[in-house]
């Protein structure tokens, strides 16, 4: 199969790779770029752990054709921390015990970031809506909801 040249911005850095036609963005990120932060959960859009931001919008990378991000900006969890410091959301997840096994965490953080980037003071219902496409098996969601609300509160008061 012919390889397709693909250029896009990955966490603020220009990247250029060759992909097979039909390659999904999750595979491109993990296997060709080496960014292992988006996780493979179901590969069918049912679990949310592969979530990334494309031009600031939340997308499931397992259901996104890699070719469609040409020239666009892709953000993953790998780009979330600010230099040596954790992003306020990451800090809030740690402080609120919002992760146990951690497999859903990358997707949860990206979904939360997509929410807070467009709504800096979300309601509890907004938070629930924002993470409703992400499955967590361990936490019972409550600590995750609390962490996102805490991060939003901290940002609002800062």
Sites of contact with another protein (CB under 8 A): 41-42, 44-47, 97, 99-102, 127-129, 131-132, 135-145
For another protein, which is the closer residue by CB, 49 or 64?
A: 49
d(C-alpha 118, C-alpha 55), whole Å = 13
- Please report how close the Cβ of residue 147 comes to another protein at its closest, in angstroms: 12
Contacts of 13 by beta carbon, 8 Å cutoff, 6+ apart = none
Cα radius of gyration (the chain)? 16
For another protein, which is the closer residue by CB, 6 or 130?
A: 130
- Please report how close the Cβ of residue 98 comes to another protein at its closest, in angstroms: 9
- Please report how close the Cβ of residue 32 comes to another protein at its closest, in angstroms: 25
The residues facing 75 across adjacent strands are: 53
**Residue from 23, 63, 24, 59 nearest 45 by CA:** 63
For another protein, which is the closer residue by CB, 9 or 91?
A: 91
């Amino acid at each position: 199969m012919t390889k397709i040249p693909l250029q896009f911005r990955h966490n603020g850095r220009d990247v250029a790779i060759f992909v097979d036609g039909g390659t999904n963005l999750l595979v491109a990120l993990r296997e060709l770029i080496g960014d292992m932060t988006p996780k493979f959960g179901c590969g069918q859009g049912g679990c949310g752990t592969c979530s990334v931001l494309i031009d600031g919008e939340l997308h499931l990378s397992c259901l996104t054709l890699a070719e469609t991000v040409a020239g666009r900006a892709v953000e993953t969890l790998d780009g979330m921390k600010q230099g040596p410091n954790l992003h306020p959301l990451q800090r809030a997840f740690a402080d609120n015990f919002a992760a146990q096994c951690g497999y859903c965490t990358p997707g949860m953080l990206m979904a939360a970031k997509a929410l807070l980037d467009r709504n800096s003071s979300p309601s509890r219902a907004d938070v629930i809506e924002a993470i409703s496409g992400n499955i967590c098996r361990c936490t019972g969601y409550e600590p995750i909801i609390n962490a996102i609300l805490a991060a939003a509160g901290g940002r609002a008061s800062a």
